[in-house]
Chain A
Amino acid sequence: MGLTPTASASSRVTYDPPSQDGWVTTRLEFLVNWSRANSLWPMPFGTACCAIEFMATAASRFDLARFGMERLSFSPRQADVLLCAGRVPYKLAPVIRRIYEQMPQPKWVIAMGACASSGGMFDNYAVVQGIDTIIPVDVYVPGCPPRPEALMYGIMMLQDKVMQQRSISDQAQYDEITIDPTSRLYIPPSRIDELSEPFGNSVHQTRSAP
């Protein structure tokens, strides 16, 4: 603060704090990113045990307030980050899609835990195999459930991502996801089937033809 190049007679940079009090020069993009990254308001979408870990992260021992995230927004209209903690069954798929659509731009999504990231151990008829098949995800936090340190590391990664955005020139961050109106999907069906390939113990499960 206060260190600005001034042209002197010898064309050297001089440092004169008293004449430079009360103002700062920076790139506007940096300032916008900096204020965004340090005041991310999360919308907690807690459906399972990961939400308990998230509560521990928000409470005093781990203290999410250090990252400017202590203001949990239980309304999507005032939220920046959708923090999905827990498994999402198919019945909740339209709900989480609607919550994401209600959030103002720019917005980010953290998939906390194995179930939100990939369906986890619930490779069955009822659970969405990763919320990235419904909404775009920025940070995946692995773990079952992740420890608060892991979630905070994911949050810091998201802050890094926000800091690197071209917040002024790049209009893409204000675009809504384009959804196929008939299927309501935003990525091709073949990609979804690829993303949710069977794995683990349930490989030998048989699936009838659609």
Chain B
Amino acid sequence: MSVVIPGSALPADTPDPITPRNLSYRGGEANPSVDAMRAQFGATIGRHDVMWGETTVWIDATKVREVVLWLRDDPGQQYDYLVDVTAVEHRDPALPLEMVWHVRSLPYRRFLRLKSALPPDAALEVPSIEPVYKAANWLEREVYDMFGIRFAGHSDLRRILLWDSYAEGFPLRKDFPLRGRFSRSEQLSQALLANPDAKYSMEELSVADAFHELPADMRARLLRDQGGS
């Protein structure tokens, strides 16, 4: 376990960050990671865009795992924090679904938004980045739950907010009616038939069993919280 100090990779004379003001809607200085990504990956990296001072890079969805692995492990990038994984479906049906990954580099104080358009005719599947960031586990489950995008290589791809037997579809898709597809009585009887206990994965059930594998300081803290038992 290591302590990450924000800005520790920056030169010592870097001034403290201040809240940026008078940002332009588009344009401005792009995140320096974009050029490094182009040099590393070439045609995998598409166009980039700077909006309100934040940089968005379009990438090839099939290569996302290699890209974020390099962003995390390259000493010049150190994107050690996965902020969010989500998706966008536009109101215009001609526009494709987009996957969005937000990553942040604490040592360099950088923020990067990765986007990739999913081709409309192919299966909605992208590689999971759970092997790179464990935080992606629940985030990708939520994207699957709400949009129906599948993640290849995810360890436990189930619905997370809706129950497992939910049969009405994917609620954040534009073709999903706000009230759902079924009548209220049908929705209610299906919901009442669900078993509220059947939501824990094997991993969640085995947290208590893994107590002796935890780091020593965490064991000590847990024991202290339980009154030193």
Contacts and interface: CB of A to CB of B under 8 A. Distances in A.
Interface in A73-111: 90-91, 93-95, 97-98
Interface string A31-42: 000000000000
A210 B195 contact: no
Residue of B184, B186, B187, B191 with most chain A CB atoms under a 10 A cut-off: B184
A189 B177 CA distance: 21
Contacts of B184: 129, 133, 192-193, 195-196
20 contacts: A94-B193, A124-B178, A124-B179, A124-B180, A125-B168, A125-B178, A126-B162, A134-B188, A183-B192, A184-B189, A184-B192, A185-B185, A192-B185, A195-B184, A205-B177, A207-B183, A208-B177, A210-B181, A210-B182, A210-B183
A94 B191 contact: yes
A185 B162 CA distance: 20
Interface in A99-151: 123-126, 128-129, 133-134
Given A133-B184, A133-B188, A184-B189, A95 B196 contact: yes
A122 B185 CA distance: 16
Closest 5 CB pairs of A and B: A125-B180, A189-B185, A184-B192, A183-B189, A90-B191
Nearest to B199: A91
Contacts of A185: 185, 188-189, 192
Interface residues of B, number: 25
Contact of B181 (A98, A129, A190, A207): A207
B179 A90 contact: no
A145 to B, nearest CB: 24
Interface in B188-215: 188-189, 191-196
B163 interface: yes
Contacts of B194: 91, 94
Q: Which of B180, B182, B185, B186 has the most CB of A within 10 A?
A: B185
Interface of A: 90-91, 93-95, 97-98, 123-126, 128-129, 133-134, 183-185, 189-190, 192-193, 195-196, 198, 202, 205-208, 210
B163 A91 contact: yes
Interface of B: 161-163, 168, 171, 176-189, 191-196
Contacts of B189: 183-185, 189
A172 B184 CA distance: 29
A198 B183 CA distance: 11
Given A125-B178, A193-B184, 10 more contacts: A93-B188, A94-B192, A125-B177, A126-B171, A184-B189, A184-B193, A192-B184, A196-B184, A198-B179, A207-B181
A200 to B, nearest CB: 12
A205 B162 CA distance: 22
A133 B186 CA distance: 12
Contacts of A125: 168, 171, 176-180, 187
A95 B163 CA distance: 13
A84 B156 CA distance: 33
Contacts of B180: 124-126, 207
A190 B185 contact: yes
Contacts of A90: 187-188, 191
Contact of B192 (A97, A126, A196, A202): A97
